[in-house]
Each structure stands twice: as C-alpha cells, then as structure tokens.
C-alpha cells in the first residue's frame, strides 16, 4: 500500500514538472517570436525614416501644405526599390520567410495626423505623418504594432 501511494505521488510530481516545462517552453517561444517581430517592425521604421517626408519635399523645401501629396501610397510606377518618401509605404505588405522558426507578415500604414490627436488619422494634410507597422505570424498569439510620428520642419 505504501508503494502504491509513493507511485501515485511520484506520478503527480512528474505530471506537474512536465506541465511546467511545457508552459515554460510555450512562453519562451512566444517571447522569442515577440522579440523577432519587434525587431522586424523596428527595422522597417528605421528604413522608412531615411526617406523624405513627402514626394514634393524630396527635392523642394516648402512651407505650404498644398504642396504635399493628398494621395498616400506609391506613385505610379514606383516599386519598393524606388520608394523615395514616407507615404510610399502606405499599404506596403512584406512576407519574411527567411527565419527557420516562423513566417512573419508585415503591413505598413501611413496617414496624416493632427498635433492635437496623434492617434486618429486626419482627413486633411498636416505636417505630421504617422507610420504604423503591424507584424503577424501564425506562430504568435498576438500582433506586434509599432508606431511613430514624423514631422516636417523647414528652417530658413
């Protein structure tokens, strides 16, 4: 009877340890994918930040909002290799399957925002553009979203 009780206690202990290992492994993988997704989003933001604020401002400084593009997205004939301004990335989708652990899908949106409310897209042109990068994967339970706001300044 004592041996049977010891075997039951040992079985319960082994099940708990295995359950803990599985939970820890799942948490570790979720964290790994979260860090990778954040890294991908940050890399996209860094790439976009090297571009001009607007197609017009790529070659001309301006103090007139009417000079800025009303249509956000790539201009006719532009491809990712010829993007020259921030709003060209609006609607840009990229799938990264270079990592052996997961396939990541990146979606970029760009909108004008007001200085009074940086969370809501503005229906009119402003001196502020908000870039939002969303990274998803079937291997992750959540979507990673990274946003930043770029402003246009002219000093004369």
Q: Quick: pLDDT tens for 91-111.
A: 999 998 887 788 999 999 999
pLDDT of residue 22: 67
In a domain, 156, yes or no: no
φ, ψ for residue 124, nearest 5 deg:
-120, 165
In a domain, 69, yes or no: yes
Q: Give the range among 3-12, 41-50, 52-61, 103-112 with minimum mean pLDDT.
A: 3-12
User: 75 is written with which tokens?
Assistant: 């201009």
* Sign of the torsion formed by the C-alpha atoms of 124, 42, 133 and 144: negative
Q: How many domains does the chain have?
A: 1
Mean pLDDT, residues 51-71 taken together: 88
The pTM is what?
A: 0.81
In a domain, 126, yes or no: yes
In a domain, 132, yes or no: yes
| Nearest-angstrom CA–CA distance, 151 and 156 | 16
In a domain, 80, yes or no: yes
φ, ψ for residue 2, nearest 5 deg:
-65, -40
Distances (CA, A) of 102 to 6, 18, 35, 135: 43, 25, 12, 12
List, for residues 1-32, the tens digit of each pLDDT value.
778 888 888 788 777 877 776 667 677 888 88
The count of other CB atoms within 10 Å of the CB of residue 41 is 21
Residue 28, domain extent: 2-151
């Amino acid at each position: 009877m004592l041996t049977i009780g010891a075997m039951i206690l040992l079985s319960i202990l082994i099940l708990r340890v295995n359950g803990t290992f599985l939970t820890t492994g799942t948490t570790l993988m979720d964290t790994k994918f979260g860090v990778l997704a954040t890294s991908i989003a940050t890399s996209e933001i860094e790439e976009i930040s090297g571009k001009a604020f607007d197609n017009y401002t790529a070659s001309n400084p301006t103090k007139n909002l009417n000079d800025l593009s009303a249509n956000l997205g790539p201009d006719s004939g532009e491809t990712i290799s010829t993007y020259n301004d921030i709003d060209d990335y609006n609607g840009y989708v990229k799938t990264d399957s270079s990592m052996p652990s997961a396939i990541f899908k990146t979606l970029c949106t760009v909108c004008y925002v007001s200085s009074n409310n940086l969370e809501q897209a503005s229906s009119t042109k402003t001196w502020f553009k908000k870039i939002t990068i969303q990274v998803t994967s079937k291997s992750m339970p959540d979507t990673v979203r990274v946003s930043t706001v770029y402003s246009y300044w002219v000093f004369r």
